[in-house]
Structure 1
Amino acid sequence: MIPMVNLKAQYEEIRDEIEQGIAETIANCSFILGPNVQNFEKEAAEYLGVKHAVGVASGTDALHLALLAEGIGVGDEVITTPFTFIATAEAICYVGATPVFIDIDPKTFNIDPDAIEQAITPKTKAIMPVHLFGQPADLTRIQQLCEKHGLKLIEDCAQSFGARVNGRQTGSFGSSAGFSFFPSKNLGAFGDGGLVVTQSDEIAEKLKMYHNHGSKVRYYHDVIGYNSRLDDMQAVILRVKLKRIEQYNAGRRRAAHLYSKLMADLPLTTPFEDGLGEHVYHQYTLLCDRRDDVLKALQDQQIGCAVYYPVPLHKQNVFKDAYAHVKLPVTEQVAATCLSLPICPSLEDKTIEQIVGVIRRTLVG
C-alpha cells in the first residue's frame, strides 16, 4: 500500500530526538503552556518573520481567535473562497460574521482577485484568502484591495507553512494569520494544534487572553475566552520538525515536479505554479475529466488518493439554502475534476513512477 503521506517514515528519521524531548517533558511535568510551547512560539515567529506567534489547539481555532482578536463579529462580512476545507467558513460563522464566497482562479485554485472588488459591500470587514495546497494566493493584489477599501487581511495558512512570496513567508502579510499543525501538514504535530501570528502587539495581547480562558493573570478573567492551548508534547514534536521544514518542503517540491514531468503528455492538467510565490505542495492536485476512473484504478492498486474537495462550501448542506443563488462555475468545475495524489518528502522516484504508470494505463492504455 502507498499512503497519501508516509508519517511513519518521517517519524523514524526523528524518533530519538522526539522521544527524548517527550521524556523530558514528562519528567518535568510541564504539560500546559510549558517551556517547549514558549520556545516553539519564539522559533516559529522568527522563521515566519513575524513579531508574535501564539500556539492554539487547532488550525480552526487559529482562524476563529484571529477573527475575534481583529474585532470581526455579528453583521460583518468576510470575503473568502468556497474551495477549501470547511474550517475557513466555520471560523467566520463562529464570530457571527457571514462568509461571502467568490470564485477561484482556474489554474491556481486560489481566490480570484478579479472577483474580490465586486463582492465588497459596506458590511465587508475582511478578506480571508487560503493559500490552497501550499501555493500562495496573490497577496500583492489582495493587499492592495484591503488598503484601498480599509479591510483586514487575515490569511488562512493551514496548508502553506514555509511558502514564500518575494522572500516573505505566508502569514507575514496579513494583520493576522492562522496555521494548522494537523499531522499530515507540511509541519505536522502528532495530533491537533495550531498557531496564530501577527505583527500587532494589541492583537497578540488579545490572542493570549482568548486562547487561555480570557485571562492575562491566573484566575483573573477580562473577557469570555476559550480553552485553546497548544500543549507542550505537541510543541516538542513541532520544534523537532521546524528545524527540518526547509528540507521537508524541498522534498515535496521534488516529488511534485517529477509527477508533472512524467505526466506532461497525459490528458490531464498538472498543478500550475504561477511564479508569484513558492509552492510547498501540501497537496499535489491535478485535474482530469476521467477523475473517477483514475481514482478507482489507484484505489484498486491500494494507492492513496483523495478528492480535495468534492463539494464546494456554497454547495454543502449546511450552507446550500443560504447560498442557493450563488453560482461559481470555476469552483464547481474544479471540484468535479480534481484529484490529489500521494505527496510527502520521503516519496521515492520509483514510487512516483509506479503511481504514474497506473494513471497512464487508465487514460491511454
Structure 2
Amino acid sequence: VSKDSMSLSKGTASQEKQDSQKLPPMFTLSSEWNEIGREVSVTTERILQEGNYVLGPEVGELESVLAGYVGVEHCIAVGSGTDALQIAMMALDVTRGDEVIVPSFTCMATVEGLCILGATPVFVDVTADTFNINVNLIKDAITSKTKAIIAVSVYGLIADLDGIEGLLKSSNRQDVTLIEDASHSFGAKKNGKRSCNFSKIACTSFYPMKPLGCYGDGGAIFTSDTNLATKMRIISRHGMVGRYEHVMLGMNSKLDTIQAGILLTKMKSNHYEKSLQSRKDVAAIYEKYLSDQTVLTLPSPPSYNDHIYAVYTVIVNKISRDTLRDELERAGLETRIQWPKPLHLQDMFNYLPCVKKPCPISEELCKNILSLPIFPFMTESEAKSVAITVGHAISALMPDC
C-alpha cells in the first residue's frame, strides 16, 4: 500500500459515487462466512441432529475454552452481554439505594441491569484520547453508597483497570467491586494480559457485531472467585441448584447450544485470532492513509495496550462532523455515530434516579465522533477505498486542507 495514492484525494466526494458499489458496508459478516462458513454449517447440523438445543455439552466446553483463553478460573455463558452485567449486579447484591459508578460515554446496556435492580448510576466523564472512564475523576464520585464500578473498555481498548484497582486500594475501598464491561475488548491485551482478567468480574457480549460474535445473541461472565461464579451460575438458571430447587431469585439466561458450537468453532480453528489481526490490519491502513488529515484525530493506543478495533472511531475537528458524514453519504460510504448522546443526557434519566457528574468530554465526543467501516476479514482494497473516499470528502469540504 503506497501512501502516494493519497494524491487521489484531491477532488469531490461525488466523484466516488460511480464507484460506490466498490465501497464496503459499515459492517458485514459475509467475509467471515467465506472463511468459516463450511465449518459452522457442519457444527450446526451436528447439533441439530443430536437434539441438545439448550445446555448441550458444547456450552460447558466453550466455558472451559474461554476461561483458559482469558486466564481466569471460571466462565459462565449467558443469554447476552446485557444479562451478564445484570447477573453480576445481582450476585453482588446490588439493590435500591446502592450506587454504581459508570462512564457516561457508553451504551445503555452498561447500566440497564443496575437500574432494573433499583440502584443509582453515578455518571463519570471519560478521557478524550482513550474514550474510557477517567480514573482521576472516580475518587470524587465514590461515596459510602458505592457498591461497584463498571469500567467499559470502549471500542476495543482496555480501560485503566489497574489504575482503578490501585485507587480503591489506596482509598481503603476494596469493598467496592470493579467490573469490566468487555463487550468491545474480548481478546485485547494490555502488557500481555487479556481483557476479562484484570477485575474481579468481567462481562462480554457475543452479539454478532462484537469481536467474538455468534449468529444470534449471547454473552459471558468471567471471574476467578469460585463463590461468585457459583452464585452467578445459579442466578442465570432461575436461581436453581437442582431441578425445581430454587435458593435465590434468578433469571432465565442461557447460551443456546448452537451459538456455543459456533463460538467454539471460531476459537478452535484459530479463526478468532485471525479475525482480530484483520481488524488491526484495517486500522493500520486507515492510519497510513488518513494520519495526515488534520481534521481527523485517529486512535493512537500506547504500544503496551493492544487495541482490537471492535469499532474504528475518529474525532472530526475544524469541520462539522455531520457535514462530513453527509458528504460521505453522497459518495456512497456508510458511517456510524456510536454514540450520539451520552447516558447522562438520555431522557430516561430525567425520572430515574442517577447522579450526574460534569461530563463535558463525553458531550463533546458525541458531537464529533465518526465511526468508519470495519469488520472481520475486511480486505486491503476495501479499507483503501474507504480511506480514499474520506480523503476526497475532506478535500471537497476544505480544498486547502
Cα displacement (A) at 1:274 = 3.1
Asked if the contact 1:49/1:172 (under 8 Å) is kept, the reply is: yes
CA–CA distance in 2 between the matches of 1:214 and 1:30? 22
CA–CA distance in 2 between the matches of 1:244 and 1:127? 33
The answer to whether 1:328 aligns with 2:359 is yes
The 1:325/1:172 distance shift into structure 2, 3 A limit, reads closer
After TM superposition, the runs of 4+ consecutive aligned structure 1 residues lying more than 6 A away are none
The 1:116/1:276 distance shift into structure 2, 3 A limit, reads farther
Residue number in structure 1 paired with 2:323: 293
Residue number in structure 1 paired with 2:116: 94
CA–CA distance in 2 between the matches of 1:97 and 1:335? 26
Amino acid across the alignment from 1:334: L
Residue number in structure 2 paired with 1:279: 307
Residue number in structure 1 paired with 2:42: 20
Asked if the contact 2:180/2:199 (under 8 Å) is kept, the reply is: yes
Cα displacement (A) at 1:23 = 1.0
Asked if the contact 2:122/2:357 (under 8 Å) is kept, the reply is: no
The 1:324/1:46 distance shift into structure 2, 3 A limit, reads closer
Scaled by the length of structure 1, the TM-score of the pair is 0.96
Q: Which runs of 5+ in 2 are unaligned?
A: 1-20, 397-401
The answer to whether 1:33 aligns with 2:58 is no
Task: Provide Cα deviations, 1:146-183, integer angstroms capped at 9, x if missing partner.
Answer: 33322111110111110112211111111111100010
Residue number in structure 2 paired with 1:253: 280
Deviation larger for 61-70 or 239-248: 239-248
Amino acid across the alignment from 2:107: F
The answer to whether 1:167 aligns with 2:189 is no
Cα displacement (A) at 1:276 = 4.5
Deviation larger for 26-35 or 237-246: 237-246
Cα displacement (A) at 1:113 = 0.6
Deviation larger for 90-99 or 58-67: 90-99
Residue 269 of structure 1: which of 271, 292, 297 is its match? 297
Q: How does 1:187-202 map to 2 (within 5 A)?
A: 187-202=212-227
RMSD of aligned residue pairs (Cα, Å): 1.5
Residue number in structure 2 paired with 1:44: 66
How many corresponding residue pairs? 365
Residue number in structure 1 paired with 2:89: 67
SS of residue paired to 2:31: helix
SS of residue paired to 1:66: helix
Residue number in structure 2 paired with 1:355: 386
SS of residue paired to 1:154: strand
Cα displacement (A) at 1:319 = 1.2
Cα displacement (A) at 1:195 = 0.3
Residue number in structure 1 paired with 2:336: 306
Cα displacement (A) at 1:206 = 0.7
Asked if the contact 1:127/1:146 (under 8 Å) is kept, the reply is: no
Q: How does 1:78-227 map to 2 (within 5 A)?
A: 78-148=100-170, 149-150=173-174, 151-227=176-252
State, as a whole percentage, how many aligned pairs show the same letter.
36
Answer with 1 or 2: which has the greater Rg: 2
Higher relative contact order (Cα pairs below 8 Å, separated by 6+ residues): 2
Asked if the contact 1:37/1:55 (under 8 Å) is kept, the reply is: yes
SS of residue paired to 1:45: helix
Amino acid across the alignment from 1:137: A
Q: Which runs of 5+ in 1 are unaligned?
A: none
Cα displacement (A) at 1:320 = 4.0
